[in-house]
Structures are given as structure tokens and as C-alpha cells.
């Protein structure tokens, strides 16, 4: 039930904020609770204030709220740069994100969160080879962490030498299969699906697996992105069009990620079916609507599709 705020002490607020952030993804409530505690900080220990401010910044970044740029000024050092990097990734400014994360790692060389975030930014920039060494290091330092395993898997499977890395890819997938968390279980199925597509060229099995991941996921847009990737890799253009319809019909509270995925898919599909007029129309819509897609990467990919 609802807890009356007058009975909450700062440490309870923090514990609740962590739960809301990590499990329930209720970022608005995290911000609300942080604001209540931070109205009076005179009698709260410094470490607790830092943790509350930290989760406030993370929640604001998740909601892509520009207020985060103001709040983060209350945090210094490596954490300041890390949080900025996280925010810039959330809003699609990947070059700025990379710049801030590199600053963070200069200040704190073994900052695991910053390393993980850097890998994610490089993956978003499709710089898989560049991300590989850091992803491998993260994974080997903590093989039980599903985020690290998934990031390393993506760098391996989407790199230029993915076929020669089959044994390592299989090991990472098998290790993910030991995960007990809901996230770990979902990532395991998604990785199995991609492995079936990239290494075994088995589209039926890949699509069956990704369909299971979609049904079980709390945030199915990621499964649909993997599904599109599978269809793209195996040149199943009719299936790619079906995925676009699925994304259009997907009901999500956070439409930001959906919109970004949808327009990217539409542009690539139009290129694969050799519809230059439709590609130009979609690219214009992306710019006019201010959709945070890295246009340089997308244009390069589309150019390569037309060349081939």
C-alpha cells in the first residue's frame, strides 16, 4: 500500500528509490521522493545525500529531462562525467556521451559503470570492433552480470569476424543461460535467437525464439529490434515489413525509443526494397521531427545497401 511520507526516513526513501528505479522503472516516483528528501539536507549524512542525488540524476536522464543538467552540478568528479555521459546516451548525443565517459575513466581508471556505459555507446554507434576489448574485460571481470555478457555477445556477433568467434559466442550464451533474473532470462533467449540467425542461418528457429522473448518481456521494443536485425541479416524483407507493423502497433509509455526504432527500420526497409523516394521522405521526417537517430551512421548504411 501507499506509505505516508511523514513516516519515511531518508534511508527508507533511498531504499524505495532503488526499488522503484531498478525493478519497477517508475522514474517519476524516484524524482518525487528525491525532491522530498532534498528539501532538507542539514541533518542527513553526506553519503546518503550523494546516493539520493545520484538516483535523481539517473531517473531524470531516463526521462530525458533537461533538469538533469542542472542537478548533476551537485555531483563532482568521475560520477559527474559518468552521469552526463549516461544522459547524453539517453538523448541520442553519442559523441558527447563518449567524450564525458572518457573523462570519467581518466579520473577513475577502473570505473566499471563508466566502462559498461562506454561499451553501450560504442554499440549504438555500431563501432563493435572498438568496443570489443572493453566489453571482454567487463565480461571476464563479472561473468554473472547479464549486462556485461549481452554487450560482449553483441560485439562478437556483430563484428566482422563473428564466424571465427563461434566458440566464444557459444560460451557467452551458455553462461547467460545460467542467469536467474528476469532480465538475464530474456537476454539469454534474445542472444540464442541472434546466434541461430548469424551462425546457423536458421530463420525459423531464430524467429520462434525471439517471439518467446517478446511475449515475456516487460519492454518488448528490444525484442522487436532484434527481430528486425535477424530479418535484415538473413535478407527476409517480407518479415522486416511485418516487424515494422508490430512496432507501429506496440503500446508503450515511453514512445521515445519506439519512435527512434521505427523510423530507423522504415528507412532501412525502404532502402532494401530499392525505394529511394521513400528513403528520402523518411530521412526528411527524421530531421523535421528531431528524432534522435545518428543520421551519419544511418546514411552510410543506406548508401552501402544501394551500392550492393
- Per-residue model confidence (pLDDT) at position 14: 87
Question: Distances in Å between the alpha carbon of 70 and those of 61, 137, 245?
Answer: 11, 33, 39
Contacts of 140 (CB under 8 A, 6+ apart): none
- Per-residue model confidence (pLDDT) at position 1: 52
- Per-residue model confidence (pLDDT) at position 34: 92
Task: State pLDDT tens for residues 235-292.
Answer: 999 999 999 999 999 988 778 889 999 999 999 999 999 999 999 999 999 999 999 8
* Residue-averaged pLDDT of the chain: 92
pLDDT band with cut points at 50, 70 and 90 for residue 5:
very low
pTM over 0.75: yes
More confident call, 8 vs 61 = 61
Distance CA 304, CA 199 (A): 23
Task: State pLDDT tens for residues 27-54.
Answer: 999 999 999 888 876 667 888 899 999 9
Cβ atoms of residues 81 and 89 within 8 Å: no
Q: Is the dihedral of CA 179, 180, 182, 186 positive or negative?
A: positive
- Per-residue model confidence (pLDDT) at position 2: 57
Cβ atoms of residues 210 and 230 within 8 Å: yes
Task: State pLDDT tens for residues 59-95.
Answer: 999 999 999 999 999 999 999 999 999 999 999 899 9
- Per-residue model confidence (pLDDT) at position 273: 96
Span 215-222, average pLDDT: 89
Amino acid at each position: 500500500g501507499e506509505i505516508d511520507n511523514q513516516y519515511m526516513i531518508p534511508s527508507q526513501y533511498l531504499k524505495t528509490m532503488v526499488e522503484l528505479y531498478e525493478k519497477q522503472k517508475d522514474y517519476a516516483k524516484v524524482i518525487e521522493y528525491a525532491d522530498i528528501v532534498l528539501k532538507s539536507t542539514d541533518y542527513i549524512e553526506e553519503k546518503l545525500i550523494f546516493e539520493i542525488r545520484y538516483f535523481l540524476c539517473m531517473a531524470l536522464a531516463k526521462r530525458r529531462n533537461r533538469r538533469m543538467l542542472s542537478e548533476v552540478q551537485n555531483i563532482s568528479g568521475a560520477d559527474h562525467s559518468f552521469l552526463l555521459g549516461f544522459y547524453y546516451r539517453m538523448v541520442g548525443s553519442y559523441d558527447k556521451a563518449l567524450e564525458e565517459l572518457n573523462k570519467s575513466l581518466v579520473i577513475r581508471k577502473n570505473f566499471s559503470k563508466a566502462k559498461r556505459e562506454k561499451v553501450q555507446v560504442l554499440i549504438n554507434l555500431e563501432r563493435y570492433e572498438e568496443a570489443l576489448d572493453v566489453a571482454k574485460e567487463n565480461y571476464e571481470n563479472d561473468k554473472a552480470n547479464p549486462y556485461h555478457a549481452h554487450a560482449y555477445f553483441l560485439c562478437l556477433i556483430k563484428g566482422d569476424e563473428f564466424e571465427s568467434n563461434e566458440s566464444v559466442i557459444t560460451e557467452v550464451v551458455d553462461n547467460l543461460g545460467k542467469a536467474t533474473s528476469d532480465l538475464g532470462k530474456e537476454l539469454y533467449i534474445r542472444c540464442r535467437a541472434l546466434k541461430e540467425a548469424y551462425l546457423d542461418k536458421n530463420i525459423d528457429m531464430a524467429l520462434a525464439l525471439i517471439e518467446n522473448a517478446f511475449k515475456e518481456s516487460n519492454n518488448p521494443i528490444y525484442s522487436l529490434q532484434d527481430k528486425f536485425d535477424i530479418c535484415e541479416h538473413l535478407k527476409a524483407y517480407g518479415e522486416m515489413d511485418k516487424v515494422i507493423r508490430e512496432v507501429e502497433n506496440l503500446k508503450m509509455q515511453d514512445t521515445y525509443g519506439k519512435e527512434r526504432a521505427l523510423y530507423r527500420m522504415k528507412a532501412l526497409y525502404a532502402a532494401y526494397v530499392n525505394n529511394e523516394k521513400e528513403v528520402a521522405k523518411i530521412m526528411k521526417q527524421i530531421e523535421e521531427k528531431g528524432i534522435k537517430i545518428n543520421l551519419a551512421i544511418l546514411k552510410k548504411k543506406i548508401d552501402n545497401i544501394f551500392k550492393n
